[in-house]
Amino acid sequence: MNRDLESPGPDDEIDHEGPITPYRQLAAILTARIARGDWEVNRAIPSELRLVQEYGLARSTVRRAIALLVEEGRVHVVPQRGTFVKGR
C-alpha cells in the first residue's frame, strides 16, 4: 500500500502495520479495481474465500470490507450467488 495516507490502488497489497485498518484497505482496493473495470456492472467480484486467499486476511475482515462496500452502494450481495457490482 502507499506509505502516505493516500487511498490504496487496485494493485496494492494489504499493509498490516499501517495506520489504515485492513478491512478499509481491502474496501479501497476493491473500489479501485471496480473503477478500473476489473468487474463489470452486475458481475460478481471474487468470493469471500478467494479474497481471503488472495489478500491473506481473515474471513471476518473480508466480510467487513464487503459490508462497507454495500453500505457505500458499490456492490450488493445476492444470497447463495455472491457479491455483485452495482450500477450507478
44 assigned to some structural domain: yes
- Which cell numbers in the block locate residue 70? 454495500
Q: pTM of the predicted model, to two decimals?
A: 0.90
3 assigned to some structural domain: no
* Per-residue model confidence (pLDDT) at position 3: 44
31 assigned to some structural domain: yes
10 assigned to some structural domain: no
User: What is the number of structural domains in the chain?
Assistant: 1
34 assigned to some structural domain: yes
* CB neighbour class for 1 (10 Å; exposed up to 12, middle 13-18, buried from 19): buried
pLDDT per position as a tens digit, 17-73: 999 999 999 999 999 999 999 999 999 999 999 999 999 999 999 999 999 999 999
Q: Which domain holds residue 32?
A: 22-85
CA 49 to CA 46: how far, in whole Å? 8
79 assigned to some structural domain: yes
Q: What is the DSSP letter of 14?
A: -
Contacts of 12 (CB under 8 A, 6+ apart): 1, 2, 25, 29, 32
* CATH number for the domain that contains residue 56: 1.10.10.10
With 90 as the cut, is the pLDDT of residue 5 above it?
A: no
57 assigned to some structural domain: yes
